[in-house]
Structure 1
Amino acid sequence: METVFTRDTKVRDIVIRVPRSDELFKTHKIDFCCGGNRPIHEAIEEKGLDEASILTSLQSLYDQAVDMKALDEEDWTSAPYSILIDHVIHRHHRYLVEELPDLSFYVTKIFRVHGDSHPELAELHRLYHSLKTELEHHMVKEEQFVFPAIRQYDESNMETDRSAALSKIDELEAEHEEAGNLLKQMRQVTSDFTLPEGACTTYKMTFQRLEQLESDMFQHVHLENNIMFPRLAGEA
């Protein structure tokens, strides 16, 4: 079990290194932005919290992130459609369902606080929320219509069911392309997520999580565009 922090690690460093630690800190009202330049044990003591419990929870969040990364590296090229679909839903869709609204809060926050001196944050805010809306609609379409059609073919192996599933694929690929364009524009407007001098912890964490979102989307779309859909189209 790898440990990337100790009780003496600063709060601001933990929130950047440990995915979703900000949610734990918000729950316990631990300031990780302006008050983040102090050891985690001091912040825990100030709030009267149990240090062992908080550190264990943080380690658990980190271990979960490591486990998910390892899962992404599995060979999915021969997995049954039902298994691949379950992976996409439980790994990538769940990540988006949890991350999109939380990240929206931070993208809005840095725009509100720093937008006057960094006008590019207004465009980032617009692009991000266009992406958020696009992905939310896309996930509903996949889970309610497309994936059930592919599962039906996986069970029946009938050509009529394969054709029904294939009829829905072009629209999904177009939506993937639109999401990719929005991610590309977000990277361009932020100069590859380059932080301004003196960026606060929230600013740093927001840009890091935007890059993580981009990385997850690349893996997510790869599984569908390069593995699931071509297999479906190529079967006879």
Structure 2
Amino acid sequence: MKELASKTVADLVTENIKTAHIFKKYGIDFCCGGGISIEKACAKYNVDYDLLVTDLENVDKDNSKATNYNSWELDFLTDHIINVHHTYVEENIPLLLQYAERVAQVHGHHYTELLEIKELVKEVAGELSAHMKKEELILFPFIKKMVQAKKEGSALPEAHFGTVDNPIKMMETEHEDAGEVLRKIASLSSNYTPPQGACNTYRAFYAKLDEFEQDLHQHVHLENNILFPKSLQLEKELRNQ
């Protein structure tokens, strides 16, 4: 228990992705807000420390092996993020937009929060689409170039953006912006709880929004807590060689 107390939320999720589900259960932000200790997180989110620690200590009791993303090469990790998380967002945004439009049209006169949720879905869809293109066309290719330079023992590749810290800071800000939009949606929808007697489309819309948020949390975690810090460290190594 003492060992857990000294670690941050982000540290634990980096070591074992399954702990993300525990933090999600207690409403603790493990991606953008993951840089605080377990004790501080409990105080911030009004969570019983002993209950949280018990769940964290039992997270591997099912003996299943968690994916150790922290051990992956950075070029492989960028490909995983694109192939799994970017693809998920691209495939699910059209569906979310259709659901949002349909449910707001049919039920928005009675459940007026649906009108605001529809606009927020449009906002986050536009933000994420632009965000992912910047990663795929600018940041991720540069990270791959750095990985290649290290393997070959060559110099740090030149970049028009100066240090890699510049695009990383922009991506982190955009992660926070997207996270804030989803927090608003979660609040407006009572954490994706449809009203009693809601139609199947209404229920499917909220279920998809919940799934979308969970995927984004893991997506942002992989970047903010693993890919970005390691990329900054790699750039530093290449500069000093």
Q: What residue in structure 1 maps to residue 218 of structure 2?
A: 219
The TM-score with structure 2 as length reference comes to: 0.65
TM-superposed deviation, 1:160: 5.0
Structure-2 separation of matches of 1:139 and 1:226 = 17
Distance across 1 between alignment mates of 2:166 and 2:70: 22
The CA distance in 2 between the partners of 1:164 and 1:154, in whole Å, is 15
Partner of 2:109: 116
Matching residue of 1:190? 189
1:129 aligns with 2:122: yes
Q: Go from structure 1 to structure 2 and tell me whether the alpha carbon gap of 1:111 and 1:213 turns closer, same or farther (over 3 Å shift).
A: same
Percentage of pairs with the same residue: 36
1:210 aligns with 2:209: yes
Superposed CA offset, 1:103-161 (max 9, x none) = 11011110000000100001100111100000000011000111011111010124455
The structure showing larger relative contact order (alpha-carbon pairs under 8 Å, at least 6 residues apart) is: 2
Q: Give the partner amino acid of 1:177.
A: E
Q: Which runs of 5+ in 1 are unaligned?
A: 1-72
The reply on whether 1:97 has 2:86 as its aligned counterpart is no
Gaps of 5+ in 2: 1-65
SS at match of 1:117: coil
Are 1:107 and 1:125, in contact at CA under 8 Å, matched by a contact in 2? Answer: yes
**Structure 1 residues 52-201: aligned runs within 5 Å:** 73-157=66-150, 158-159=155-156, 164-201=163-200
Q: How many residues align?
A: 164
- After superposition, the Cα gap between the structure-2 partners of 1:151 and 1:164, relative to the gap in structure 1 and judged at 3 Å, is farther
Of 78-87 and 213-222, deviating more is: 78-87
- How far has the Cα of 1:164 moved from its partner? 3.9
Moved more, 155-164 or 213-222: 155-164
Letter in 2 for 1:117: H
* Aligned mates of 2:175, 2:133 — CA distance in 1: 14
**Counterpart code for 2:117:** L
Counterpart of 2:192 in structure 1: which amino acid? F
Q: Answer yes or no: is the 8 Å Cα contact 1:152–1:161 preserved in 2.
A: no
SS of equivalent residue, structure 1 residue 167: helix
Question: Shift of residue 82 of structure 1?
Answer: 1.0
* 1:233 positional shift: 1.9
Q: Which amino acid aligns with 1:141?
A: K
Tell whether the 8 Å contact from 2:145 to 2:157 is kept in structure 1 after alignment. Answer: no
Deviations 1:188-231 (A, max 9, x none): 11111121111011111110000000000000000000000011
Contact 1:153-1:165 within 8 A present in 2 as well: no
